[in-house]
Amino acid sequence: MNKNTSRLDNVILHDASSGATAEIMVGMGCNCHRLQLMCAGQPVEVLWSVPDFATQGGHPCSSGIPLLFPFPGRIRGGVTHWKHRQYKLPAGDAEGNAIHGFVMDRPWRVVQTSSDRLVAEFHLARDTPQLLSCWPTDFRIQAEYTLSASALRMAFHVFNPSSEPLPCGLGLHPYFRVPLGPGDSGEDCLIQLPVAKTWELDQLIATGRKLELPDAAAYQAGRPYRELKLDALFTDLQFEKDQCTAAILDLQNRRRMRLQFQKPFQEIVVYTPENRQSICIEPWSCATDPLRMNEVGIDAGLSLIDPQNTLAYRAEISLQPL
C-alpha cells in the first residue's frame, strides 16, 4: 500500500477482477462523484454528477457524494452557541444561514492509496486554520473508500485532537441515478425508505418537533419515484440489529441499489432534484442546527467526542439483480 501525502485532485479506484470503478475528487471535498458497479456481469453507473465534474468541477453539493461535516444541513443565521459561547459561521445560502459544514468544497490530503482503496484526510487546524474560531474545537476527519465488484464501502473516522469535547454531526449527500441503467425515465423506480416520522421544518431547518408519518408503511414498502417531490428530513428509522437500509428498485432493468448504514447515522434526508434524473437519499447522524437543539434539551443526534478520542461512521452502497 502506498503512502502519499501530496494532494491528488481525482483518484480512480479499480477492481481488476470485475472492472468496477470509482472516482474520488480529493481536491474538492473528497467527493466520490462516479461509481460504476457490476450487476449480473454488466457495468452500471450508480451516481449522478454534472457532466465533466472531474475536469470542470461544479457546485460542490450538486454531484456525487458530498461530505457534510462538522454539521449537515443549515444553521439558522450562521450563528450557533456552545457552552455559553457564540460561534459565527460562514454564510452559505441566500438567507444567510450556514450550510453543510466546512469540508465539502475544500482540498483533502491523500494518506493511503491502492488500486481499490483510498484513505484521505482533512484537519481543520492544518487545512483551514482560519475557521478554527468558527467551531468549539479542532477536528480531524479521515474518509476511507474500499471498492469491490458490486459495492463501495465507506468509513469515516473523526478524531478530536483538542482538550475539550467535540460536538459534531456527519451527513452524506449522495445523488443516485434513476433509472439504474438504460431508459429515458426513472419515474417507475420504487424508492424504499425505512422511516416512521419526520422532523417539522421551518425554511429547511428543524424546529425540534417530530411529526408522525401517516404513510410510513408505503415508504417502507416502496413508493414510485413519480409520486415523490421531497426535501424532507426523516427520523425514527428502522434498524435491523445495527444496520439500516434504504433502496432503489429499478423494475425495468431488474436491479436493486441498497444504501446501508450504521449508527451514529440515524436520520435520512430525501431530496428530489428538479432534473428528475437522480434522487438524494442522505444518511445523517443528526438533524439540522443540532447544537442549538442540544442547548435547549432536544435530542437531535448530536455526536460528542471526548478529547483524544475517535468516532467511526460507516455506510455501504451495493448493487444486485432483482
CB within 8 Å of 66: residues ≥ 6 apart: 29, 31, 60, 100, 104, 172, 173
State residue 1's pLDDT score. Answer: 32
Mean pLDDT to the nearest integer, 249-274 = 97
Whether CATH 2.70.98.10 fits 2-321: yes
pLDDT band at 55 (very low <50, low <70, confident <90, very high): confident
Stretch 184-190: mean pLDDT: 91
Please determine, for residue 5, whether its predicted confidence score (pLDDT) is greater than 50: no
Residue bearing cell 491523500: 110
Q: How far apart are CA 135 and CA 142, in angstroms?
A: 18
176's CB contacts (< 8 A; 6+ apart) are 46, 47, 48, 248, 257, 259, 278, 279, 280, 281
Interval 185-192 mean pLDDT: 94
Average pLDDT over every residue of 227-243: 96
For residues 169 and 287, give the distance between their C-alpha atoms in angstroms, rounded to a whole number. 8
Return the beta strands (E) in 15-132 as ranges.
21-25, 31-39, 42-45, 67-68, 74-75, 79-82, 85-88, 98-99, 109-114, 117-123
With beta carbons less than 8 A apart as the criterion, state whether 154 and 314 touch: yes
Task: Determine the pLDDT at residue 81.
Answer: 94
Q: Name the nearest CA neighbour of 66 among 33, 102, 109.
A: 33
Predicted confidence (pLDDT) per residue in 108-156, tens digit? 999 999 999 999 999 999 999 999 999 999 999 999 999 999 999 999 9
Q: What is the mean pLDDT of residues 178-184?
A: 92
* Element housing 198 (H / E): strand 197-202
Mean of pLDDT values over 88-103 = 92
Rg of the chain in Å (alpha carbons): 19
pLDDT of residue 6: 39
Q: What pLDDT, on a 0 to 100 scale, did the predictor assign at position 4? A: 34
Spatial separation of the C-alpha atoms in residues 48 and 174, rounded to whole Å? 8
